[in-house]
Structure 1
Amino acid sequence: MPLALTPAARRIVQAVLYEAIAITAVGPAMAWLFDAPMASSLALALLLSSVALAWNWVFNGWFERWEARQAVKGRSWRRRLAHGIGFEGGLVVMLVPLMAWWLNTTLWAALLADLGIVAFFFVYAVAFTWAFDRVFGLPESARANPGNPHAEHA
């Protein structure tokens, strides 16, 4: 039985949990990949995470409003992939300039460096939202019967 949360609490829990796991994975990976001090890599991971946390709140709000207007309810893998592409695409636009500044490099070099991170986060975002929905249930926007936190997962 999924854990029921209000829509606002659900988005807060989802965003904070998503970013906490991300920092734990990305900070050490960036230190290793960029041969950078752990403190600098963790600071960059925290900065990137802060931007991502704000984007998560905004993007998921937009996505759920769009999703609520759809005739077909639920979250198919196609819809989950669209969510992942939209979320990660928005992050690339915001984070590449930030990474270029932090790493003192060009936008092109930052984009290339970000590609591995984007690939990881695309898979992570899709898997995380699937797992989160399994634990907390679908948001009202994706339920066949709004108001029923125990509606089936798509």
Structure 2
Amino acid sequence: MRSLYDRLRHAISFEIIGLLLVVPLGSLLFHVPLADFGVVGLVSATLATLWNIVYNYFFDRALQRAYGTTLKTRMMRVVHAALFELGLLVVLLPFIAWYLGVTVWQAFIMDLSFAAFYMVYAFCFNWAYDTLFPLPEWEKA
């Protein structure tokens, strides 16, 4: 399993790169001032970073228990990303509606857009991260 240092490097790099991509795109797509969308992005990234560390720890423990390894198949990566985003969706919806002064439905659409972006991004980022920083146990598989 990954060390705490490795999990912190993963979570922080994931959020920084994600913010650099999603804030300008979201601002353009939803016609929200860049600064306002930046605040939403920053708060979302902070909550997501905390969720990322906790979620990945428990997901890896469950994989280790169930399969004896933390090596993820392509389908397991899809499940991993989808469950992560579902949990985050529940947390972010009230904040987005409140901060941007939009309806819950508008916040839901924005949140779904965030989730769709981050689901694809998480799949790609985690695959790249695992390729750059493989665990020794995976060499046996």
Q: How high is the TM-score relative to the length of structure 1?
A: 0.83
CA contact under 8 A between 1:137 and 1:153: conserved in structure 2? no
Alignment map for 1:10-49 (pairs within 5 Å): 10-49=6-45
CA contact under 8 A between 2:23 and 2:38: conserved in structure 1? yes
Q: Give the C-alpha shift of residue 32 in structure 1.
A: 1.0
| Structure 1 equivalent of residue 110 of structure 2 | 113
Percent sequence identity over aligned pairs: 36
| Structure 1 equivalent of residue 72 of structure 2 | 75
Amino acid in structure 1 at the alignment position of 2:4? A
Distance in 1, matches of 2:140 and 2:39, equals 37
Count residues with an aligned counterpart. Answer: 140
CA contact under 8 A between 1:75 and 1:153: conserved in structure 2? no
Alignment map for 1:2-151 (pairs within 5 Å): 7-71=3-67, 73=69, 74-138=71-135, 149=136, 151=138
Higher relative contact order (Cα pairs below 8 Å, separated by 6+ residues): 1
More helix by share: 2
Distance in 1, matches of 2:140 and 2:33, equals 43
Structure 2: gaps (5+ residues): none
Pairwise CA RMSD of aligned residues?
1.9
Distance in 1, matches of 2:51 and 2:24, equals 23
Q: Give the C-alpha shift of residue 150 in structure 1.
A: 6.1
Structure 1: gaps (5+ residues): 139-148
Q: Deviations over 1:120-153 (max 9, x none)?
A: 1111111111110000114xxxxxxxxxx26339
Q: Give the C-alpha shift of residue 36 in structure 1.
A: 2.2
Distance in 2, matches of 1:151 and 1:119, equals 29
Distance in 1, matches of 2:118 and 2:140, equals 22
Q: How high is the TM-score relative to the length of structure 2?
A: 0.90
Amino acid in structure 2 at the alignment position of 1:119? A
| Structure 2 equivalent of residue 142 of structure 1 | none
Change over 3 Å in CA distance of 1:67–1:55 after alignment to 2: same
Distance in 2, matches of 1:21 and 1:153, equals 31
